[in-house]
Chains A and B, each alone.
Chain A
Amino acid sequence: MSISTATATPAPRLRRPRRDIGPLDYTKRAWMRLLLAVNFVFLYFPIVALIAFSFNDSKRNITWQGFTFKYYTQAFNNNALQDAFTNSLMIAAISTAVSTVLGTMLGVALHRYRFPAKDVVESWVHLPIVIPEICMGVAMLALFALIKFPLGLATVIVSHIAFSIPFVAVVVRARMAGFDLSLEEASRDLGANQWQTFWNVTFPYLIPGAVAGGLLALTLSLDDFVITFFTSGPGSTTFPIKIYSMVRFSVTPEVNAASTILIVLTLTLTVVAMAMQGRGGNKKI
């Protein structure tokens, strides 16, 4: 030891070593940061503009004339818009309730049971998520035409339930993937029957998944346009479709105001859904 330190080599020149930038150190690269900024602008500028101009005191949407709430008042007093909003809420409420229950059951079943052709069933479950919405819409319309079911609120609700179930099922299934099956066995071992076990042990565990899935279904239903467009009939116009029809005449600040309301609503629901999922994740041991 002492010998080797006695014949010390000349001290290396002090230079701060240049740290390599790792492949995932995005924020260390200037051009990446620029790209990120540009992306944010493209993504959010239109939305910010939309919201800003909903307060614009001008009939046209081009120049800023001053702040006003009058288009919100106008939107609230627009009966057709009100009806559409009520429709949307009703459709969303019913389809969410039904699809959450069915989707949760499906998610639990997919997690729990092995049955013949399970892979096939799973792919079918995912199908509505991946196939283009327009195809879903056309298919739904064709179905209702085939069975001669008049288009209206009922058809919209049924369609919304149909496309929401897979989303709920996928979220619930993901939640269940972390479930320790010995918890159910412990419950059975301690004297609980299968129903007691489900309600006392399994259900509390899957609640965050079901709630997140349900909120997802609610958001999807609230702002769905394509499928609703194909399956709605007279008297079942929803909020997004109403906005679309208003835009076809002219983009007035009233449209902006209505859109802003929809944005705030869906954003709130999404944030709540994410919070629920986050909390569920933390509660796991």
Chain B
Amino acid sequence: MTEKPGIISIRNVSRRFGTVTAVHTVSLEIGEGEFFALLGPSGCGKTTLLRMLAGFESPTEGEIVIAGIPMLGVDPNRRPVNMVFQSYAVFPHMTVEQNVGYGLRVTGVARAEAAERVKEALSLVKLGGFEGRMPSQLSGGQRQRVALARALVKRPKVLLLDEPLSALDAKLREAMQIELVRLQKTVGITFVIVTHDQDEALSMANRIAVMEAGRVRQVAAPADLYEFPNSRFVAGFIGKLNLFEGRVAGVQDGKLALDIKGLDRIAVPFDGHASGEIAIAIRPEKLRLDRQPSAADRIGVRGRVSEVAYYGNESHVYLKTDDGTSVTANVPNSARSTRPTIVVGDELWASWDAADTLVLTE
């Protein structure tokens, strides 16, 4: 994305705890002003990587450079980054104002200036009027805002957020997602957020690194990640999939010819390198359901409806094909109707545009 060296350069960084390799030769460039997400399942090393940026862990191997300065041996209190902890870590014995002003007080910022900046930070997170409250008198969402203000008041080059929304309920979480994006736009600094929630990463970040077992599997913009995943892991972790196993048969009219179990020979556009065993995948919302065999230019498979799950805006239709493979199609409920048009037992054709096929080589 960014051409100039990023505000954060992570170069071949590994971190081992005894025999566990929490982070495995990770290299990342994060640009100035980015909203960058580290996404992956629990235990994949996201927090460890973030803590290495903050200075609470040191890499076993590799180098971290922040704002052009190598961070080896630099204490957490001397790094141009600030962190919002998963538990918020709001100081329980200090008022909101004291919490937010803490980082200025301990570094000797003049009293008048500190008061000004605290006020500004509190209004930024919409906590004006809460100055005198104790953390025990705040809700979880408000405590999080205190943690945010406390970090932002330091005017860091990078704000690190470890699963900032995981402790909030669903409604508040969505509001806070929007809020964080707004905040990032307002202050204009780099945000690095850790999350295990793909929706969160997709909706907030402008770039996402997907991690698995300590390694970065793919770094891309949300839409690229969703539409062009480079592996089964990434494809499966981001969004839902219908997966078919098969093998490469050759090249045919500039397209990749594949023999897929349960389907006939298909040809899909593909400009990578593929051979041998392979998998293809299709997103449920890219499928179309018909009562007749689908058009010849589409890839289709016949199945019987085994279940229909109604979600209001859409329905998820589960099909079983003749050879027992399950296929899920998401059908928008675009017309206002209470009578289901598809019922269990229906025989349908699910089809998709060959161009929508995800070819997963690894």
Contact = CB atoms under 8 A, between A and B. Distances in A.
A196 B106 contact: yes
Interface in A169-216: 180, 182-183, 185-193, 196, 200-201, 204-205
A284 B150 contact: no
A180 B77 contact: no
A189 B76 contact: yes
B83 A285 contact: no
A185 B76 contact: yes
Given A180-B87, A283-B92, A284-B92, A189 B106 contact: no
A191 B104 CA distance: 8
Contacts of A192: 77, 102-103, 106-107
A190 B154 contact: yes
Interface string B228-250: 00000000000000000000000
A189 B93 contact: no
Contacts of A201: 91
Contact of B89 (A182, A193, A284): A182
A204 to B, nearest CB: 5
B51 to A, nearest CB: 8
Contacts of B147: 186
B310 interface: no
A191 B107 contact: yes
A166 B92 CA distance: 28
Interface in A48-103: none
Contacts, number: 73
B113 to A, nearest CB: 15
B102 to A, nearest CB: 6
B85 interface: yes
A11 to B, nearest CB: 42
Interface string A134-164: 0000000000000000000000000000000
Given A187-B102, A191-B106, A200-B106, A283 B93 contact: yes
A190 to B, nearest CB: 3
Given A191-B107, A205-B93, A186 B85 contact: yes
B28 to A, nearest CB: 21
Given A200-B102, A205-B93, A283-B93, A189 B135 contact: no
Interface string B120-138: 0000000000000001100
B14 interface: no
Interface in B300-333: none
Q: Which residue, of B56, B75, B89, has the highest number of chain A Cβ atoms within 10 A?
A: B89
Interface in B95-128: 102-103, 106-107
Given A185-B56, A185-B83, 8 more contacts: A186-B91, A188-B55, A189-B76, A189-B83, A190-B102, A190-B106, A191-B103, A196-B106
- Nearest first, the 6 closest Cβ-Cβ pairs linking A and B are A190-B103, A186-B89, A192-B106, A182-B89, A191-B107, A188-B76
